[in-house]
Chain A
Amino acid sequence: MKKLTGKILLTAATILGASTALSAETFKFAFQGDAQGLDPHGLNETFTLGFLGNVYEGLSRYDGNQNLKPALAESWEVKTPTTWLVKLRQGVKFHNGNTFNADDVIFSWKRGLTEGSDQKVRASLIQDIKKIDDYTIELITPAPSPVLMQEMVFYYILDKEWAEANNATKAANVKNLNDAGYANLNANGTGPYKIASRQAGVKTVFVRNADYWGESNAKIDKIEFTPIKEAATRVAALISGQVDMVYPVPVQDWQKLGDSKGVSALTGPEARTIFLGMDQWRDELVNSNVKGKNPFKDIRVREAFARAINLDAIKKKIMRGSSTPSGLMVAPQINGYSAKLNNPYAYDPAKSKALLAEAGYPKGFELQMDCPNNRYVNDEKICQAVVGFMAKVGVKVNLLAQPKSKYFAKVATQNNNDTSFYLLGWTPGSIDSHNVYQNLLSCQNTEKKRGLFNYGRFCNSRVDEITGLIGSETDAAKRQALIDEGFSIVQKEVGYLPLHQQPLSWGVSDKVTVVQRADNVFDFRSIKFNQ
Chain B
Amino acid sequence: MISFIVKRILQSLLVMLAVALIAFALFQFVGDPINNMVGQDTSLLDREKLRQDLGLNDPIFIQFFRFVGNALRGEFGFSYVHRLPVSQLIGERFSATIELSFVSAVIALVVGVPMGIYTAINRRGLLSRSFMTLSLIGVSLPTFLIGILLILVFGVSFRWLPAFGRGEVVNIGWWSTGFLTASGLKALILPSITLALFQMTLIMRLVRAEMLEVMRADFIKFGRARGLNNRSLYFRHALKNTLIPVITITGLQLGSIIAFAIITESVFQWPGMGLLFIQAIGDADIPIMAAYLVLIALIFVLINLIVDILYVRIDPRLRTSTSGSGGQ
A-side residues, CB < 8 A to B, are: 12, 15-16, 19, 33-34, 36-37, 39, 42-45, 118, 120-122, 172, 174-175, 177, 181, 184-185, 199-203, 226-230, 232-234, 236-237, 239-242, 260, 374, 402-409, 412-414, 426, 429, 439, 446, 449, 452-453
Q: Is the CB of B48 within 8 A of A414?
A: yes
User: Which residues of chain B in 104-156 are interfacial with respect to chain A, using CB atoms and an 8 Å cutoff?
Assistant: 148, 151-152, 155-156
A201 touches B83 (CB 8 A): no
A405 close to B35 (CB less than 8 A): yes
By beta carbon, the residue of chain A nearest B88 is: A200
Provide the bound-state CA to CA distance between A517 and B85, in Å. 34
Closest 9 CB pairs of A and B: A44-B39, A405-B31, A409-B32, A406-B31, A202-B271, A405-B284, A121-B41, A408-B35, A200-B82
**Interface residue ranges of B15-74 to A (CB < 8 Å):** 29-33, 35-44, 46-48, 50, 53-54
B residues near A45, Cβ cutoff 8 Å = 39
B48 contacts A201, C-beta separation under 8 Å: no
- Evaluate contact between B268 and A233: CB separation under 8 angstroms: yes
Which residue from A15, A199, A449 sits with its C-beta under 8 Å from B182?
Answer: A15
B38 closest partner in A (C-beta): A118
Chain B contact-residue range equals 35 or more
In the complex the two chains form, is A229's CB within 8 Å of B31's CB? no
| Contact pick for B41, options A39, A44, A239, A414, CB 8 Å | A44
Cα(A402)–Cα(B31), bound, Å? 10
Also in contact, A405 and B36, with CB within 8 A (given A228-B269, A233-B163): yes
Closest-by-CB residue of B relative to A227 is: B269
Interchain CA distance A232-B30 in the complex, whole Å: 24
Interface pair B156/A413, CB less than 8 Å apart: no
Contact B43 A121 (CB under 8 A): yes
Q: Is B282 an interface residue (CB 8 A)?
A: yes
User: How far is A242 from B78 in the complex, measured between Cα atoms in Å?
Assistant: 33
| With contact pairs A405-B35, A405-B36, A406-B30 given, residues A233 and B151 touching in the complex (Cβ less than 8 Å) | yes
A201 touches B42 (CB 8 A): no
Q: A19-B183, A199-B271, A229-B269 are in contact. List 4 more A-B contacts (CB 8 A).
A: A199-B92, A233-B269, A240-B156, A413-B44
Chain A's closest residue to B155 (CB) is: A240
CA distance A519 to B224 in the complex (A): 78
Residues of B within 8 A of A404 (CB): 31, 35-36
Let me know if B37 and A43 touch, CB within 8 A.
Answer: yes
Q: Which of B31, B93, B182 contacts A16 (CB 8 A)?
A: B182
A233 touching B32 in the complex, CB below 8 Å, given contacts A12-B182, A184-B83, A242-B163: no
A452: chain B residues at CB < 8 Å are 43-44
Q: Is B76 in contact with chain A by the CB < 8 A criterion?
A: no
Q: Cβ of B37 and Cβ of A174 under 8 Å apart?
A: yes
Interface centre among B29, B36, B148, B276 (most CB of A within 10 A): B36
Alpha-carbon gap, A508 to B250, bound state (A): 44
Please determine whether B163 and A237 come into contact, CB atoms closer than 8 angstroms: yes
| A122→B40 CA distance, assembly (Å) | 12
Asked whether, in the complex, the Cβ of A239 is within 8 Å of the Cβ of B156, the reply is yes
Q: A11's closest neighbor in chain B, by CB? A: B182
Is B279 in the interface zone, CB < 8 Å from A? yes
Contact of B43 among A12, A405, A449 (CB under 8 A): A449
Report how far A42 CA is from B38 CA in the complex, Å. 8
For residue B299, give the distance in angstroms from its CB to the closest CB of chain A. Answer: 21
In angstroms, Cα B283 to Cα A260, docked, is: 33
Cβ contacts under 8 Å, A200 to chain B: 82, 84, 89
- Contacting residues, chain A, for B283 (C-beta < 8 A): 405
Q: List 28 A-B contacts (CB under 8 A).
A: A15-B182, A16-B183, A34-B82, A45-B39, A121-B41, A121-B43, A175-B53, A177-B85, A184-B83, A200-B82, A230-B266, A233-B164, A233-B267, A236-B148, A236-B151, A237-B164, A239-B156, A240-B163, A242-B164, A405-B36, A405-B283, A409-B31, A412-B32, A429-B39, A429-B41, A449-B43, A452-B44, A453-B40
* Chain A residue with Cβ nearest B55: A175
Instruction: Give the shortest distance, in Å, between A198 (CB) and chain B (any CB).
Output: 11
Chain A residues with CB under 8 Å of B155's CB are 236-237, 240, 242
Contacting residues, chain B, for A402 (C-beta < 8 A): 31
Residues from chain A with a CB closer than 8 A to the CB of B35 are 404-405, 408-409, 412
Does residue B198 face the partner (Cβ distance < 8 Å to A)? no
Best-buried of A42, A174, A185, A408 by chain B (most CB within 10 Å): A174
Residue from the list A172, A174, A405, A453 in contact with B32, Cβ < 8 A: A405
From B54, B83, B152, A42 is in contact (CB under 8 Å) with B83
Please name all residues of chain B whose beta carbon is closer than 8 Å to the beta carbon of A240 when the two chains form the complex: 151, 155-156, 159, 162-163
Q: Which residue of chain B lies nearest to A43 when distances are taken between CB atoms in the complex?
A: B39
A43 with B269: in contact, given A19-B182, A233-B151, A408-B31 (CB under 8 Å)? no
Q: Are B42 and A118 in contact, CB atoms less than 8 angstroms apart?
A: yes
Given contacts A12-B182, A36-B83, A201-B279, contact A403 B31 (CB under 8 A): yes
